[in-house]
């Protein structure tokens, strides 16, 4: 079985096609940039312009609008309310994300998510529990729930999720990880590297086994790394891996976003929010996977007294605007990172359309209307 996104012609064709799809949505040909032509429904010229775009696709959403997808107390009605709020930001396809937890908690949360029958749910992103147990790489995941990569454990979780786990984030260095990567890929489940302290050899071995993504690259790792080699350089240089980034101005500084996307290339970049219950809410105390965290007035989310971030309060329109501003890329190039590219990566199509207003001067994208 050929693995998706091998560094051969099929993947290159997909990347070209993804960019062309967004170009068509913006109303121009392959040789035009977003800033060089008038948008659909608006006159040519400077200032703001109205666009009709494919629905956004977010591969990492832990919760939204006060709702924690990883809390067993969350109800199906809570999830529907959160999904309606997410849809208002332009996201019409997403992977609700469940971080490391016990099999019982995972099963309860997965069933609640799927019980909604909501068409926006394209599957589940299982982030952990097969990740590094070390402080720093583990991030906000509870140490008690982190474990080695066990095929039987995954089968139980996959069955509880009705076979709808579509993406698994794991650390290549944990016992059993590489064998599990091969099994997951053979069964059609995408595998990402994250929350890791893997060596270069372990990262390359994971890519050879079929891993195709780096989850929120630049985060979920030790705060201090060797100058070189280190796991960031290794993943940036590994062409078999796409990379997702949280571009909220907190997880990565602007210059880091610019350098990392230049290294990985826009064609291998996916934007995610890693949003949790605080997204779309005022500063206060919320939960991620049942753990208490605080959203402060600057937009940072972290456990009280902890140095590491714990998800985000980001939305994809803000991530798109930040990425254009931080990198100098065209809006067209960045939109593909939040629409066609993540959709193709998990084997779905963007759904519906988003009418939005783009202000080039402030690099802000305002959603006006969403048609799922």
By annotation, the residues acting in catalysis are 274
∠ CA 309-315-319 to the nearest 5 degrees? 85
Q: What are phi and psi of 36, to 5 degrees?
A: -100, 5
14's enclosing H/E stretch is helix 9-26
Q: Are 320 and 257 in contact (CB under 8 A)?
A: no
Q: Which of 317, 325, 183 is nearest to 257 (CA)?
A: 325
Q: Are 193 and 206 in contact (CB under 8 A)?
A: yes
Give the tokens for residue 160: 């509880």
d(CA 306, CA 163): 35
Neighbouring-strand partners of residue 96: 61
d(CA 325, CA 222): 27
Q: What is the DSSP string of 142-208?
A: -GGG-----HHHHHHHHHHTTT-EEEEEE-TTSTTHHHHHHHHHHTT-EEEE-S----HHHHHHHHH
Q: Are 98 and 125 in contact (CB under 8 A)?
A: yes
Q: Which of 307, 310, 283 is nearest to 295 (CA)?
A: 283
Pairing of the two strands 213-214 and 242-246: parallel
Q: Are 245 and 215 in contact (CB under 8 A)?
A: no
d(CA 50, CA 367): 10
């Amino acid at each position: 079985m050929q693995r998706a996104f091998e560094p051969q012609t099929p993947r290159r064709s997909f990347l070209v096609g993804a960019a062309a799809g967004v170009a068509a949505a913006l109303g121009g040909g392959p040789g035009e940039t977003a800033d060089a032509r008038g948008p659909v429904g608006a006159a040519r010229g400077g200032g703001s312009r109205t666009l009709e775009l494919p629905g956004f696709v977010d591969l990492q959403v832990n919760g939204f609008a006060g709702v924690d997808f990883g809390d067993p107390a969350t109800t199906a009605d809570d999830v529907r309310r959160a999904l309606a709020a997410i849809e208002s930001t332009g996201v019409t396809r997403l992977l609700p994300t469940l971080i490391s937890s016990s099999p019982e908690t995972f099963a309860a949360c997965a069933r609640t998510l799927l019980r909604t029958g909501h068409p926006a749910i394209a599957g589940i992103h299982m982030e952990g529990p097969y990740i590094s147990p070390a402080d720093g790489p583990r991030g906000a995941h509870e140490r008690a729930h982190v474990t080695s990569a066990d095929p039987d454990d995954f089968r139980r979780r996959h069955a509880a999720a009705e076979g709808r786990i579509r993406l698994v984030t794991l650390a290549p260095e944990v016992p059993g990880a590489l064998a599990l990567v091969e099994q997951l890929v053979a069964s059609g489940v995408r595998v990402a590297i994250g929350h890791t302290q893997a060596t270069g050899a372990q990262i390359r071995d994971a890519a050879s086994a079929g891993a195709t993504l780096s989850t929120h690259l630049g985060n979920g790792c030790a705060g201090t790394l060797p100058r070189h080699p280190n796991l960031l350089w290794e993943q940036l240089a590994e062409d078999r891996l796409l990379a997702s980034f949280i571009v909220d101005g907190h997880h990565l500084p602007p210059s880091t976003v610019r350098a990392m996307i230049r290294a990985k290339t826009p064609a291998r970049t996916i934007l995610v929010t890693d949003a949790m219950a605080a997204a779309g809410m005022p500063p206060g105390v919320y939960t991620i996977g049942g753990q208490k965290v605080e959203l402060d007035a600057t937009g940072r989310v972290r456990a009280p007294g902890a140095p590491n971030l714990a998800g985000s309060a980001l939305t994809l329109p803000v991530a798109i605007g930040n990425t254009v501003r931080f990198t100098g890329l065209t809006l067209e190039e960045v939109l593909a990172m939040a629409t066609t590219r993540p959709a193709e990566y998990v084997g779905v199509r963007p759904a519906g359309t988003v009418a939005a207003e783009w202000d080039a001067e402030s690099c802000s994208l305002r959603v006006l209307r969403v048609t799922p």
